[in-house]
Structure 1
Amino acid sequence: MLQSIITGSGSYLPKKIVPNSSFEGVIFYDENRQPITKPTPEVIQKFADITEITERRYVDNDDIMNSDLATEVGRLAILDAGINKEDLDYIIVAHNFGEIDAHERQIRIMPSISALTKHKLGVKNIHCKPYDMNFGCPGWNEGMILADQFIKAGIAKKILVVGSETLSRSVDPFDRNCMIFSDGAAGVVLEAKESEVPVGILNHYTRSDNGEEISFLDTDTSLNPNYAGSKVNIRMKGRKIYEYALTHVPQVIKNVIDNAGYHIKDINKVLIHQANAKMDHAMLNRVFKLYGLGIKDIPERIAPMTIQKFGNSSVATIPTMYDMMVKGNFENQTLKSGDLVIFASVGAGMNINAILYKMP
């Protein structure tokens, strides 16, 4: 049987560490575009209590573009997989805003990030197709799902799947939610391998709610009427997203597990997109509740967390966790042969997806 297996991975964490204290001089504005009267340190502390974020990573050089991050992790993943870059059939790059100029904060989506990544990797193969995946935070997952379908349809053998973001350039500096987002990139090489034993991507499922949910995560002008920066800033309805995620993500995860013939007790790791620690904990609790289990039944360290130190790097968060674990760079977190792993994410659209992956 033809299986889709990760054979190499790579990740990039910017060196610039931005602690919560760096926002203490900011006057945040509310949704009515009025200055928040509470002292900023109090606003920051409430934010930290909910999200558990204490710091995040930003690109530290204005000349570095999103495609540069994607190229670096692509290079690392190709090296780790031990393949010839010219043998790649597809380069799939997930992102939300393409290239963003650090000064004027203008968004550039032509040429595509994937085409730029192929160019910067020096891939000459004209049959290697660059493909952008714009699917909100679940974009890397959806890129993996697409790659799996290409492989199992027999039209591709080697695919690079990357998630890359420079979200620090797409946030409204006067919106308290700007403290959530961060920069980073990670990716994998997914290869077609023959195996009589099911391994690699075993199952996946995607749900897209594009009715009223379309406005839960959007872009808008700054909350500060006097801000002369970008007119395209991330805007999110936090309460709506929280309620949506808790209602639907646990069932999507359960569907993927059940339809593959497994039980939550068979799962070794759940890599959930790092958007909000409180939300992630609640989603995992609800997954176990769907199986008639309680909090006490959740194995220790089943759901690793990086948001406290890395923030929310959107499409890069899940592959970053994966790469850190397989490389031994994640304290008290490892992946071994035979482990069953869930990759699950929710984001703009609104879109949800989950993948069940068995380590080879």
Structure 2
Amino acid sequence: MTIYGKIIGTGSYLPPKRVTNDELAAMLAERGVETSDEWIRTRSGILARHYADQGVNSSDLGAKAAGKALEMAKCEANDIELIIVATSTPDFLGGFPSTACMVQKKLGITSNCAAFDMQAVCSGFLYALSVADSFIRAGVYRKVLVVGAETYSRIIDYQDRTTCVLFGDGAGAVVLSASDEPGILSTALHADGHYGDILSLPGKLNNGAIEGKAFVYMDGKAVFKLAVTWLDKVGMEALEKAGLKNTDVDWMVPHQANLRIMQSSAKKLDIPSEKIIVTVDQHGNTSAASIPLAIDTGVRDGRIKAGQNLLLAAIGGGLTWGAVLVKM
């Protein structure tokens, strides 16, 4: 019998502080940076984003999203055997203790549960989902919690208009369970470090001091060009691995970075724009959290239903990119 990793619960959480484009423009004006709602909206499709308060960490957001996913899955926290948190903004410098261990603690999990972080930037949730599915298919674990959680508001330069208007904070989570019903149908993951310098966090830790700028740097034009080139190819790769066609896709759930990238990728795959789950307008780019946030939004508003096929696709720093085909 084939064992699948199947999503049985989804959850998400956004910090209460919502910042519209107009509010952000006013804040930036105080710093001498000019922008506007029209400038942001026409280039990205973003209308608003959420920022976490001081003292609120990625694990806090992740634990809240995970709690909702566990509730939907009708699981107790101690049923979870493995936690994988995809994040580029860990609670601690250097990433330890891991954000996954902090989520474990905040969920009150006391059973024998493994936990670790996954770093593949905006593709991180897809990498984590693929790893979780592999553990389940190998018979190692039966219930895995996969979380994407980010506090990007801490690592953006508010003097850099090209990046500071794009990012927001949030978390999304899924509970993956061993099942004899199809779930994760295929995965396709890639990376190429030769392009690492076009999307990076260049600061380095040396003897307790940070060298360089610890802010996100992005060559937007270069990332855009590669995204629209690679996302449709990796999406088609995932479909071919599963023996499916683009017409079998009920919903495309891409990384929520830029509306134009999402629409261009879907067009190349010949997937109608009305089949794209879009949350970037209200959430901004939440990196590894964006896809699980979008999935949970679609599940809870009734668009995503049991038995439907989802095509997940993302590109992120590294550069990393990938696609996962999911039957809900």
1:338 equivalent in structure 2: 307
User: Match for 1:313 among 286, 291, 302?
Assistant: 286
User: How many Å separate the matches in 1 of 2:247 and 2:322?
Assistant: 20
**Residue pair 2:277, 2:298 contacting (<8 A) in 1 also:** no
2:83 is aligned with 1:91: yes
1:34-66 per-position Cα deviation (integer Å, ceiling 9, x unaligned): x87xxx246x5333211011211111x312111
Are 2:21 and 2:40, in contact at CA under 8 Å, matched by a contact in 1?
no
Letter in 1 for 2:28: V
Q: Find the counterpart in structure 2 of residue 122 from structure 1.
A: 108
The reply on whether 1:273 has 2:255 as its aligned counterpart is: yes
Q: Which amino acid aligns with 2:8?
A: T
Q: Quick one: distance in 1 between partners of 2:27 and 2:155?
A: 20
| C-alpha distance in 2 between matches for 1:184 and 1:280 | 20
Q: CA deviation at 1:300?
A: 5.1
User: What is the one-letter code of the residue matched to 2:305?
Assistant: K
Structure 1 segment 280-299 matched on structure 2, within 5 A:
280-288=262-270, 298-299=271-272
- Please give the secondary structure, in 2, of the residue aligned with 1:233: coil
Change in CA separation of 1:49 and 1:220 when aligned onto 2, cut-off 3 Å? same
The residue that corresponds to 1:225 in the other structure is none
CA drift of 1:109 comes to 2.0
**Is the 1:99–1:108 contact (alpha carbons within 8 Å) kept by the matching residues of 2?**
no
Aligned to 1:24: 26
2:276 pairs with one of 297, 300, 303: 303
CA distance in 1 between partners of 2:74 and 2:223 (Å): 40
> Which residue pairs with 2:58 in the alignment?
66
Q: CA deviation at 1:79?
A: 1.9
Partner of 1:193: 179
Percent identity between the two aligned chains: 31
Equivalent residues of 1:275, 1:307 under 8 A apart: yes
CA contact (8 A) 1:268 1:302 kept: yes
**Other-structure match for 1:249:** 231
Structure 2 equivalent of residue 136 of structure 1: 121
The amino acid of 2:327's aligned partner reads: K
**Matches of 2:230 and 2:28, distance apart in 1:** 35
Instruction: Report what 2:48 is aligned to.
Output: 55
Displacement of 1:122 in angstroms is 1.2
Query: Which of 181, 206, 209 in structure 1 is aligned with 2:189?
Result: 206
Measured after TM superposition, the shift of residue 323 of structure 1 is 1.0
Q: Counterparts in 2 of 1:95-244, with a 5 A limit?
A: 95-99=87-91, 107=93, 109-125=95-111, 127-176=112-161, 177-195=163-181, 199-211=182-194, 213-220=195-202, 231-244=213-226
Aligned partner letter, 1:208: A
Q: Distance in 2 between matches of 1:232 and 1:8?
A: 35
Q: Please report how far the alpha carbon of residue 25 of structure 1 lies from its aligned counterpart in structure 2 after TM superposition.
A: 5.0
Unaligned runs of 5+ in 1: 30-34, 101-106, 222-229, 289-297
Choose the corresponding residue for 2:72, options 62, 80, 83: 80
Residue of structure 2 in register with 1:6 after alignment: 7
Q: Distance in 1 between matches of 2:321 and 2:273?
A: 25
Q: Distance in 2 between matches of 1:220 and 1:27?
A: 26
Aligned equivalents of 1:80, 1:201: Cα separation in 2: 18
Q: 1-side partners of 2:7 and 2:35: how far apart?
A: 44
Long gaps (5+) in structure 2:
204-211
Q: TM-score of the superposition, structure 2-length normalised?
A: 0.91
Determine if contact 1:218/1:236 at 8 Å carries over to the other structure.
Answer: yes
Which of 259, 279, 283 is the matching residue for 2:241? Answer: 259
Give the Cα separation in 1 of the matches to 2:60 and 2:220.
31
Aligned-pair RMSD on alpha carbons? 1.9
Rg larger for: 1
- Map of 2:206 onto structure 1: none
Query: Partners of 1:307 and 1:174 in 2: how far apart?
Result: 22
TM (norm. structure 1) is 0.84
- Following superposition, which runs of at least 4 residues in structure 1 exceed 3 angstroms of deviation? none
Partner amino acid for 1:116? M
Supply the distance in 2 between the matched residues of 1:86 and 1:68 (Cα, whole angstroms): 18
Contact 2:45–2:280 under 8 Å retained in 1: yes
1:142 offset after TM fit, Å?
0.8
- Whole-angstrom CA distance in 2 between matches of 1:18 and 1:301: 27
C-alpha distance in 1 between matches for 2:282 and 2:220 = 21
Counterpart CA distance in 2 for 1:349 and 1:326 is: 30
Change (3 A) 1:90 1:174: same
Give 3-state SS (helix, strand or coil) of 1:202's partner.
strand
Shift of 1:299: 3.2
CA distance in 2, matches of 1:279, 1:324: 20
Distance in 2 (CA, whole Å) between partners of 1:287 and 1:234 is 30
Q: What is the one-letter code of the residue matched to 1:205? A: A
**CA separation of 1:246/1:128 partners in 2, compared to 1, >3 Å: closer, same or farther?**
same
Q: How far 1:220 sits from its partner (Å)? A: 4.0
